[in-house]
Structure 1
Amino acid sequence: MPEKEKSKKRKRTAVVVQDLSDNDGSGSMDVEAHTEREMAPSKYSAAHPLKKRVDDDEKHHRKDSSRQVVVESLLKKKKSAKPEKSKVRGEDDVGTKDRTSAPIVDQAHVTKKSRKDGNLKEEGKGNAKRNAAVKDSEDESEDSAVEGRPTKTYQEDAMEIDDPVDKNSSSDLNTSKPSALFKPKKGRDWTLSIALPGSFIANTKSIEQKNSLAARIARAAAVFCVDEVIIFDDDPSTLPHFASKTQIKGKKTKADLLAGVGPDQEPWDNPDQFLFHVLSYLECPPHLRVALFPHHPNLRGCGAMPSLDMPHHSRPTEWTQYREGVTVEVRDDFSTLHSNSRRNKASTPEEFSYVDCGIGFPVRVPYAIPLHMRVTLKFANADPPPRWPKITQQIADGLNAEPVLASTPREEAGYYWGYTIRRAESLSEVFIGSPYEDGYDYTLGTSERGVRLSSLLPDRRDYRFGSEDDGEPEFVNGSLKLPTSFKHLLLVIGGVQGLEPAVVSDPILKEKGFTKEKAHEAFDGWVDLVPGQGSRTIRTEEAVWLALMGTREYVEGNV
């Protein structure tokens, strides 16, 4: 071996020996250091200085009413000054925390740009011609960014992939990227809802299994464009198993007992709340979760759940006319107009708000909206601003945006805009608590003792071409056939024991004389999703997928 190579080998050996001597030859030093890093406070923990931990569990799960009150008061104040109607999204404020939200910077773009500049600088020493060509191409791209649109809008991307195979091209089909972008057609006022009990979550032992079941429900809702998810208690007459004799004698209600369940025990002792919390988290756009959801035991493992990737989960470089955002604190460096405009000098901070909607800089809206409130924004221009997605705070200040209802993207443009979620204390509360003025015009219950789903579906020619009902109701073994069109369709799925026990356990339905044998009378339709099933039981999470798949063509044909 040459002397030079022997010298290099001796040096490497010396380095290895030195590392082993520093580590006492056991590797314990690395383990301890790794353990200390794991124990360091994260941005979600109570020890982090930028976060005020919300200990009151009720603040994690407030209902829609708080946001609706804000909407009504907001519109009354602005009605005289601004004739156009605008409202703030009303949704469950699950886990709002107090924090200062700095503007989001597109780190991927900054890193990419810095690497590109560094490469050009280094290559310029050996190849001046190539540097000149690169500079010309950059100048040309910047000019096109100002004159035209450098990035396609969401609608253009959807239209481009509508036919992924180019018949005139000899290239192979590209399947490396998903091509099933949601393609909005026209606005719709009809909705699809599903209701299921949270008790099927309690049937599992580990938190990983519970997370997996919740993720399957969320994925089904996203894939089939469900607009509303209701979690109901299918056994409201029975007190929780952990209720003591003292609590029972004190005549505490089930709701009172469940309200006292600690956060660590919710997945086991309060499965309805656990499922509600996880589904709310998964529906929320990723760029809003840190602001709206503090650290909570229910959310352990949510980072490993599959993404829903719905249309309102907009990417930073993807332009859409509608966006989800959260109100953040006003800072002096947010707006160039705030310090230079005479109109803004005379105004008070309460007359406007900043909304972080994930485009890199907060957007200013002319309404006073409480901090950390989720808002649906509609931009006045459907086209992206100049130099998109390379915008500045000055460009963001020039964007004209208004807060609107969460249903506006669906009703105006036909977007699927995620699902709302609510809890019901019993099966009857599912119907009574409907957010729609006229309730649900058709309810479909599932049971192995029901009729075939196909027997209740109208003729395909009717609902595919919008034929009108003749006004004569048609029944199949006591179940009403589905109408050719609907406004609000509800699918109800049972728990481990089915829907019959849920009907009997409901105090209102029981008072009206419903029994297990008459449970089907509580619904318009009573269907068997898989006649002749090979397995003895159909699990709740499976029934959700089967029910949505069985009615998919009917729902798609609704006009």
Structure 2
Amino acid sequence: MAKDSDTIVVNTRTRPRKEGTEEKAIQGKKRKASSVVLHQNDRDDTATSPAKKRKSDVQPTEEVDIDTSRPTAIFKPTAGRDWTVSIALPGSWLNNAKKPDHKTVQVGRIARACAVFCVDEIVVFDDDPLHADPKVVAPKYMGGKNKKKSKQQVLDSILEEDEPWQNPDQFLYHVLSFAECPPHLRFTLFPKHKNLEQAGMLPSMDMPHHLKSHEWCQYREGSIVGPAPAPISKAKRSPKSQAPKEYAYVEVGLPYPVRVPVPPETPVEEGMRTTVCFASATAPPNWPQLSQTDCDNLEVTACSNSVPREEAGYYWGYTVRRAASLSAVLTECEYPGGYDVTMGTSERGVPIRSILPLNNNTSPLARNFKHLILVFGGVAGLEPAVANDPELVKTGLTKGKAGELFDAWVNLVPGQGSRTIRTEEAVEFGLCAVRPWIEERGDE
């Protein structure tokens, strides 16, 4: 398509014509030319049909020039939030992928979905904590007949070079953590590893804490570079009775590291990740061209990674947690009071739209949840994970009673056309299904 300020010309291609058809072809070409050349600024609507005359009487609305060459859906925080959304899934679903690049792409879909739908936590659990699958783990790690090993001992003995194929839970945990990390910190916090060889296949996460060099935010993610001297001006002003503060340089993606005070009792290790908060929400005067002196003089403090969410309402990525079993997903929850709404997914559950409070006034789910978690199963579903968990078996739960473990037992796609729904697809469907409920929670 050729385009200028006054004329849009569409270049159409015609098939090679046979002899004796020149006249028809020329007539066709003329008709085509008159229909595809539009003179935008020279139209005379008044010399057209009465219908067009009537349209000309309507006052034209002002057109807005929309630039679609770059993404514009920038996350805008509204107010702090103390509620969270979590998902849990096993690593065993990756066993269907036979190549590391395929595995990485599948994990990338999970990470990407969690980024888009603002998931705060991902829990990777073992759906068969007592048995190491001989189809997955090589015999050299199993211990043989005379030396029985627990599954944890087997997993701990797997070498790095075999992790992508034989330790799916660790592979999933490792790649998810790498995908969440801001790009400017990845090669500092993640040494070269077999699990990350295909990390270039991961899609861009582009989360709010993945800041570009020219973007300012009051919060940033950083890694500790090493100890820093105390600012001279503050050292002079500090009273003699007050113990001097310790400082550390933190790399946060600015031209130079920033100086952050560290409590004396807090251990400081090089390469440790931390969230920092700048004293001012507005960019410094020389932004983004900051000198080393400018960076040294910025007033910065270290804070918890939940502060941007709780105080300013930012979506600040997700944390990744390992759980030894399905029951450990719930019992080892790091939020005070645990998860107050749990949803298990299964094709044998009720349609999810029927259980959401938005569509059902008698829904058993709490309308104002505090900590919501969606739990997904592996290739065989969640039911085997319940039957393989010794702690859940003690309570009388079986495959047929797996739904009793959760507040809601839901079917994400009733009447599905495909025989199976892959785990990475289920995560996308589930997060999309509960999105209206989550949005209503955020508006309160």
TM-score (normalizing by structure 1): 0.64
Shift, 1:257, TM fit: 0.8
- The answer on 1:493 being equivalent to 2:392 is no
SS at match of 2:262: coil
Residue of structure 2 equivalent to 1:176: 69
> What is the correspondence of 1:56-135 to structure 2 with a 5 Å cutoff?
none
Structure 1's unaligned 5+ residue stretches are 1-166, 463-473, 475-479
Question: Where do residues 315-330 of structure 1 align in structure 2 (5 Å cutoff)?
Answer: 315-330=212-227
Shift of 1:339: 10
Alpha-carbon contact 2:226-2:269 (below 8 Å) kept: no
Question: 1:363 Cα shift?
Answer: 0.7
2:323 aligned partner, one-letter code: A
Letter paired with 2:180:
E
Say if 2:392 is the partner of 1:509.
yes
Which digits, 9 at most, give the CA deviation of each residue in 1:292-325, with x for residues without a partner?
0111110012123211000001111111000101
* Counterpart secondary structure, 1:358: coil
Cα distance, 1:168–1:365 mapped onto 2, change above 3 Å: farther
SS at match of 1:318: coil
Partner of residue 185, structure 1: 78
State the match for 1:442 in structure 2.
Answer: 341
1:268 is paired with a residue whose SS is helix
Question: Could you tell me how far apart the structure 2 residues matched to 1:537 and 1:340 are?
Answer: 64
Please give the alpha-carbon distance, in whole angstroms, between the structure 1 residues aligned to 2:287 and 2:257.
15
The range that moved more, 368-377 or 175-184, is 368-377
Name the counterpart of 2:114: 221
Q: Give 2:355's aligned residue.
A: 456
Would you say the 8 A contact 2:250–2:257 is kept in 1?
Answer: yes
Q: Indicate which of 489, 502, 520 corresponds to 2:403.
A: 520
**Cα distance between partner residues in 2 of 1:282 and 1:554:** 27
Where does residue 281 of structure 1 map in the other structure?
Answer: 178
Separation in structure 2 between the aligned mates of residue 511 and residue 422 of structure 1, nearest angstrom: 25
Match for residue 193 of structure 2? 296
Shift of 1:329: 2.6
Shift of 1:288: 0.6
SS class of match (2:85): strand
RMSD (Å), alpha carbons: 2.4
Specify the code of the residue in structure 2 equivalent to 1:194. I
Instruction: Give the partner amino acid of 2:309.
Output: R
Contact 1:325 1:357 in 2 (8 A): yes
Distance 2:359 2:317 in 1: 28
Quick one: distance in 1 between partners of 2:311 and 2:359?
Answer: 27
**Once the two structures are superposed, what CA deviation does each residue of 1:493-515 show, in whole Å capped at 9, x if it has no partner?**
01000001110001111121111
Shift of 1:183: 1.2
Deviation at 1:239, TM superposition (A): 2.2
Q: 1:409 matched to which residue of 2? A: 308
Give SS of 1:459's match: coil
- Alpha-carbon distance change, 430 to 249 in structure 1, aligned in 2, over 3 angstroms: farther
1:370 CA drift (Å): 2.1
Aligned mate of 2:330, from 431, 434, 450:
431
Contact residue 231 and residue 423 of structure 1 kept, 8 A = yes
> How far, CA to CA, are the matches of 2:259 and 2:360 in structure 1?
49
Instruction: Within 5 Å, give how 1:203-282 maps onto structure 2.
Output: 203-241=96-134, 242-243=138-139, 246-247=143-144, 249-282=146-179
User: Pairwise mapping of residues 295-374 of structure 1 onto structure 2 (< 5 A)?
Assistant: 295-330=192-227, 337=231, 351-367=246-262, 369-374=268-273
For residues 245 and 270 of structure 2, the distance between their equivalents in structure 1, rounded to whole angstroms, comes to 11
Three-state SS of the structure 2 residue aligned to 1:557 is helix
Deviation at 1:397, TM superposition (A): 1.5
Supply the distance in 2 between the matched residues of 1:494 and 1:481 (Cα, whole angstroms): 22
Give me the whole-angstrom Cα distance separating, in 2, the residues matched to 1:366 and 1:229: 31
Equivalence for 1:419: 318
Contact 1:232 1:424 in 2 (8 A): yes
**CA shift in 2, pair 1:387/1:198, >3 Å:** same
Shift of 1:371: 1.4
One-letter amino acid of the counterpart of residue 236, structure 1: P
Structure 1 CA distance for aligned equivalents of residues 61 and 250 of structure 2: 46
1-structure distance, mates of 2:433, 2:358: 14
Which structure 2 segments of 5+ residues have no match?
Answer: 1-59
CA distance 1:270–1:539, change in 2 (3 Å): same
Distance 1:243 1:481, change over 3 A: farther
Q: Are residue 383 (structure 1) and residue 282 (structure 2) matched?
A: yes
- Partner Cα distance (1:548, 1:195) in 2: 12
Cα 1:169–1:269 shift into 2, 3 Å: same
Q: What do the CA deviations read for 1:433-475 (whole angstroms, capped 9, x no partner)? A: 100121110110111111010110113698xxxxxxxxxxx4x
Instruction: Determine the C-alpha separation between the residues in 2 that align with 1:436 and 1:404.
Output: 17
Quickly say closer, same or farther: Cα 1:252–1:350, change in 2 above 3 A: farther
- Residue 541 of structure 1 pairs with residue 424 of structure 2: yes
Aligned length: 373
Q: Which residue of structure 1 aligns with residue 299 of structure 2? A: 400
Identity %: 52
Query: Which secondary structure does the structure 2 equivalent of 1:391 belong to?
Result: coil
> Within 2, Cα distance between the matches of 1:555 and 1:363?
36
1:488 is aligned with what amino acid? H
Report if the CA contact (8 A) 1:243-1:257 is conserved: no
Structure (1/2) with the larger helix percentage? 1
Contact 2:105 2:201 (8 Å CA) reproduced: no
Change in CA separation of 1:297 and 1:246 when aligned onto 2, cut-off 3 Å: closer
Please say if residues 124 and 173 of structure 2, whose CA atoms lie closer than 8 Å, have aligned partners that are also in contact. yes
**Pair 519,460 (structure 1): closer, same or farther in 2 beyond 3 Å:** closer
- Give the whole-Å Cα distance in 2 for the aligned partners of 1:311 and 1:208: 27
**Residues 529 and 522 (structure 1 numbering): CA distance in 2 closer, same or farther, change over 3 Å?**
same
Query: Structure 1: which amino acid aligns with 2:270?
Result: L
Counterpart contact for 2:209–2:221, Cα < 8 Å: yes
In structure 1, what is the Cα distance between the partners aligned to 2:255 and 2:428? 37
**Structure 1 residues 392 and 445: CA distance shift in structure 2, 3 A:** same
Equivalent in the alignment of 1:47: none
Shift of 1:348: 11
Is the alpha carbon distance of 1:390 and 1:461 closer, same or farther for their aligned partners in structure 2, counting shifts above 3 Å? farther
**Partner in structure 1 of residue 364 of structure 2:** 481
Q: CA deviation at 1:243?
A: 4.5
Q: Would the aligned equivalents of 1:365 and 1:403 in 2 still touch at CA under 8 Å?
A: yes
Preserved CA contact (<8 Å) 2:351 2:410: yes
1:240 touches 1:254 (CA, 8 Å); kept in 2? no
